[in-house]
Copies of this chain bind each other. A is one copy, B any other.
Amino acid sequence: MYERKTLPELNCGLDLIGEVLYGKWKMRLLWFIHEGFQRPSELQRKIPGASRRVLNVQLKELESHELVGKVIYPVVPPKVDYYLTDLGKSLIPIIRVIGQWGDQHDQQLRALILKNINL
């Protein structure tokens, strides 16, 4: 486990949300869990660009920040279901508008990003 060497700044709402939501895949994980993809293997299939490892790490962080919870079924092969906590659910409208903004500006953004792949 990586141990951080610098302390986070927690001055304002943006700092706070940054600490819990700053992670490449966290918003997608919350979104897909909200959409009903609750098992780790399902989430991995929904996000093929991320390694299994990172998704586990980020799910664990989301869990430790109580945005998601998990149910572990004592069966073999293992089965786990993630779910959104109330705190996590309250983020869904925000993630929705963020995604909408991205969709609305899809073409423009795509062009800008590709133009600047290497600055």
Contacts and interface: CB of A to CB of B under 8 A. Distances in A.
Contacts of A36: none
Interface string A97-119: 11111111110111011011111
Interface residues of A, number: 52
B113 A12 contact: no
A16 B64 contact: no
B110 A10 contact: yes
Integer count of this chain's copies in the complex: 2
Interface string A25-48: 001100100000000000000000
Contact of A12 (B12, B17, B94, B102): B102
Given A22-B24, A116-B65, A119-B1, A15 B90 contact: no
B118 A16 contact: no
B12 A103 contact: yes
6 contacts: A13-B98, A13-B103, A13-B106, A15-B102, A16-B113, A87-B105
